[in-house]
Amino acid sequence: MVLNAKQCDYLSKCWHLKPREVQVAKLVCEGLDNEQIRQKLHIAYNTVRAHLGNMFRKVGVRGKATLILEFVAVLQRAKI
């Protein structure tokens, strides 16, 4: 799933995601693992994990798969 700018903006507003969290979320939706995200964003592995943990808490999910499913459901309901 590739998120466009409008979708990212909507998701960010729904859950008050920070810009870096949105970047991580976008890469998760593209199927990248934590190491690939770390390399692409030039951040520490534990920083990737921290951003993911923050998003999981804000969205109310426990993993990447359910995070993506929640994103899809919200975007479908909003017809974005």
Portion of the chain with pLDDT greater than 70, in percent: 100
**What total of structural domains would you count in the chain?**
1
Is 1 a residue whose pLDDT tops 90? no
The pTM of the full predicted model, rounded to 2 decimals, is 0.93
Q: Return all residues near 45 (Cβ < 8 A) that are at least 6 apart.
A: 34, 35, 38
| Cα distance from N-terminal residue to C-terminal residue, the chain | 13
Range of the domain at 65: 5-78
How many other CB atoms sit within 10 Å of the CB of residue 16?
8
**CATH code of the domain in which 69 resides:** 1.10.10.10
pLDDT of residue 41: 98
Portion of the chain with pLDDT greater than 90, in percent: 98
Q: Residue 79: which pLDDT band, with cuts at 50, 70 and 90?
A: very high
pLDDT of residue 13: 96
